[in-house]
């Protein structure tokens, strides 16, 4: 089919796209469709206030491209549909010092490769043009996941997929074709505040946002230089899972079926002392293709020196 032709798809085509996204070839645990439009004024204002309050810390990239964050059509001329997909990284096996999402291959690469298959399917069967987005594009991922019915945002700010929990990463395909939109997810967080109580540093604010300046995920991965005075890392060297694991929606999450997200054995073997004295050669070898390359070796050494064998709240 000509790439310039956009099929105004019917319900049967939409369901075929969804089933392909949920198949083993793509591997999503949830898939939904939303019509491209500007984000709501309330959501835009909420994000603007968060940035103005300084809660993005040194992540200044979150301040840029406000117009694109507001209107995803600026990411792909003529975009009419956002296809939102969630991919699970849930597992039974954990590392005492490293966040679950970072134990396998870099999810940016894994999800992009899988969504490129979905985008190719769309172009071949439905025509039009596509653009795959995985985290790095200025797209309001959780907002669109809610709009497309994939899940709802928890008090811990994770996207929670009903029946599958919050151990997932998101990715999107923008498409110039028209897809029947799913109903937005109307479920809400139960408000049990288990995640708030579990947060080691009180980074979850009363307005439902996260203050990155005190979040251990930010401090151990994104923050450069010395840690702020008084920072207690506890066991956390690369990321923090406390607020996610505390969510009761994650209790019975089925382990991921994505092989690339399986833990790297050499990474799992690293204890705190090994991380503190990790050589440049071992770092390059063990962390090749891992999202924690963003942490940098200096950051891993710094964090391991400040970490302990006990959680902050023990």
Considering only CA atoms, which of 48, 43, 131, 30 is closest in space to residue 82? Answer: 131
pLDDT of res. 6: 47
* Number of neighbouring beta carbons within 10 Å of residue 241: 20
Please check whether residue 203 is in contact with residue 265, taking contact to mean a CB–CB distance below 8 angstroms: no
Q: What ranges make up the beta strands (E) of the chain?
A: 30-35, 81-88, 130-133, 152-153, 159-160, 168-175
CA nearest neighbour of 217 among 284, 150, 299, 146? 299
Identify the bridge partners of residue 82 per DSSP, sorted by sequence position.
Answer: 34, 174
Q: What is the DSSP string of 182-196?
A: PPPP--------HHH
Quickly tell me which residue has 């995640």 as its tokens.
Answer: 195
3-state secondary structure of 15: helix
Question: Which residues are the active-site residues?
Answer: 135
In contact, 82 and 266? CB cutoff 8 Å: no
Integer Cα distance of 275 and 287 in angstroms: 12
DSSP state of 210: B
Q: Give the Cα separation of 218 and 203 in Å (integer).
A: 10
Q: How many Å apart are CA 297 and CA 278, to the nearest integer?
A: 8
Predicted pLDDT of residue 21: 98
* pLDDT given at position 313: 65
- Please tell me the predicted confidence (pLDDT) of residue 311: 75
pLDDT block averages, 10 residues each, the chain of length 314: 52 94 98 97 96 96 94 96 97 94 96 98 94 94 98 96 95 96 95 93 93 97 95 96 91 89 95 97 95 94 92 66
In this prediction, residue 207 carries a pLDDT of 87
Enumerate the β-bridge partners of residue 175: 81, 130
């Amino acid at each position: 089919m000509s790439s310039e032709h956009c099929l105004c798809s019917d319900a049967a085509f939409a369901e075929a796209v969804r089933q392909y996204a949920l198949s083993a070839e793509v591997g999503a645990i949830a898939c939904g469709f939303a019509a491209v439009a500007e984000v709501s004024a309330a959501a835009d204002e909420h994000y603007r206030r968060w940035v103005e309050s300084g809660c993005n810390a040194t992540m200044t990239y979150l301040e840029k491209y406000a117009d694109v964050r507001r209107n995803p059509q600026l990411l792909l001329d003529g975009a009419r549909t956002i296809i939102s997909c969630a991919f699970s990284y849930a597992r039974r096996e954990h590392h005492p010092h490293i966040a679950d999402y970072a134990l396998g291959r870099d999810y940016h690469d894994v999800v992009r490769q899988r969504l490129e298959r979905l985008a190719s399917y769309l172009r071949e069967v439905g025509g039009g043009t596509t653009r795959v987005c995985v985290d790095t594009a200025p797209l309001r991922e959780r907002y669109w996941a809610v709009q497309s019915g994939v899940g709802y945002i928890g008090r811990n700010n994770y996207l929670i997929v009903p029946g599958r929990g919050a151990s997932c990463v998101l990715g999107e395909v923008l498409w110039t074709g028209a897809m029947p939109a799913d109903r937005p997810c109307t479920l809400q967080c139960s408000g049990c505040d288990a995640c708030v109580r579990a947060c080691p540093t009180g980074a979850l604010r009363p307005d439902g946002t996260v203050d990155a300046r005190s979040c251990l995920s930010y401090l151990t991965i994104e923050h450069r230089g010395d840690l702020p005075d008084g920072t207690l890392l506890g066991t956390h060297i690369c990321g923090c899972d406390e607020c996610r694991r505390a969510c009761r929606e994650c209790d019975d999450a089925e382990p991921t079926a994505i092989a690339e997200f399986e833990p790297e054995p050499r990474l799992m073997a690293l204890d705190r002392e090994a991380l503190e004295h990790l050589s440049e050669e071992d770092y390059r070898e063990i962390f090749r293709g891992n999202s924690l390359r963003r942490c940098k070796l200096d950051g891993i050494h710094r964090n391991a020196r400040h970490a302990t064998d006990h959680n902050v709240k023990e």
